[in-house]
Amino acid sequence: MTSSWYPQFTNLCDWYTHLLQKSPTRTIHIHVLGNTITANPKNVEYMLKTRFDNFPKGKNFSTILGDFLGKGIFNVDGDLWRFQRKMASLELRRNSIKSFAFDVMNNEIQNRLIPLLACVANNKDEIVLDLQDVFRRFSFDSICRFSFGLDPKCLELSLPISQFAISFDLASQLSAQRAMHVSPIVWKIKRFFNIGSERKLKKAIKLINILAQEVITQRRKLGFSNHNDLLSRFMQGDIVNETYLRDIVISFLLAGRDTVASASTSLFWLLAENPRVVERIREEANEVLGLNQELTSCEQLRELHYLQACVYESMRLYPPIQFDSKFCLDDDFLPDGTFVKKGTRVTYHPYAMGRMEELWGVDCLEFKPERWINKDGVFIDENPFKYPVFQAGVRVCLGKEMSIVELKSMTLSFLRRFQVELAHPSHHIPRFSPGLTASFRGGLPVFVREIN
């Protein structure tokens, strides 16, 4: 299959986009994979809302990611999923949690990210900085402090990056590669004989389990009655099973680290290519906050409509999760007339949907934040089934608001102090590395300069 798309398209997701654009229904079937793929909003709504119970993640998906994600919220269906979602929803809605998250992010930005960038910018030798690596470190620190009350200090470049983070990246990449095999028999045989990629995955997961257990043990030793982090709140409840707690730790990291780092990388690549957008962000910040005034609350962030539009527009073109798959429980027909046989893998494709002219206009390939702003200068959200970047319906992302706050806070603080320039300017589409979330192959090398 690889040979059929590689010469013409930079990424597999671009090949799928091409095929979906040519389909009158915006739905295709890849026979060799037994996979129906759609970029039709009506089909997405049908899968995620109307017939939600007929399109679970399914046993096949859970098996592929089971060694890595266990029975965490991203890898289960039914009562177990409902229980975890209810608990997470109750906690994330609390004002005390929102306030704690904002304080953690702001502290990480002001006391680590900004000093790091200033050090690079003021170095007498022009330094090439990999922003993707910086964003991964930043989001890993933030999610660990917020979720576990522990500080890995990844953003202190003088220290080696956390072994937890390295193993997590490898496990994510190798788990995703399982889904690329024509048949699951291939990776299952490799796992049985403990060879190749499965040997590496087993080693990475073993280390993740050890480190996750250390997080849980340390949290218990420190006590959690007076702590606001999410893990402490979960541990005060009914969850006492160590394996279950481990799965929750991994789910928190996947939700709060990889997706934010991916979104940040794509956003800054687009901003570096579009200096006029950067200037408009700065103008809006000065209008709302005042010249040289610091961000002090989430309420101020809500007034930054153009910045919000930039974040959404970036994820329209480069969603952190490029596609998401479900499995059909019983024979069904999608709204566009496509018959889906029981047991078929059905995938909706946010990456391709962001490139459909009938959804976004003839300029759909352009980075144009203005498409999200009305005549009064106010940000207007879109139908979530047209823009399923945060999923939609019953499984809509619980951390959506928190991730937007983190992206806006970090971007605002960065751009008000620094100018970013691509070290290797190119208007070509980035090449992505395999993984559960999108990442740039080769990182995002840039020059960072202070603004006078």
In the annotated binding site, the residues are: 397
Strand (E) or helix (H) holding 332: strand 332-333
The SS3 of residue 379 is strand
252 dihedral zone (left: phi>0; alpha: psi -120 to 50; beta) = alpha
What's 13-41 look like in SS3?
A: HHHHHHHHHHCCCCEEEEHHHCEEEECCH
DSSP 427: -
The SS3 of residue 439 is strand
Residues in Cβ contact with 377 at an 8 Å cutoff, skipping those fewer than 6 apart: 305, 306
Q: Which two tokens stand for residue 372?
A: 């999200």
Please check whether residue 315 is in contact with residue 309, taking contact to mean a CB–CB distance below 8 angstroms.
no
- Which residues are documented as binding site for heme? 397
Please check whether residue 141 is in contact with residue 108, taking contact to mean a CB–CB distance below 8 angstroms.
yes
Planar angle of CA 163, 105, 168, nearest 5 degrees = 20
Residues in Cβ contact with 289 at an 8 Å cutoff, skipping those fewer than 6 apart: 295, 300
Residues in Cβ contact with 193 at an 8 Å cutoff, skipping those fewer than 6 apart: none
3-state helix, strand, coil in the chain (%, to 5): 60, 10, 35
Q: Find, among 253, 259, 344, 326, the residue nearest to 69 by Cα.
A: 253
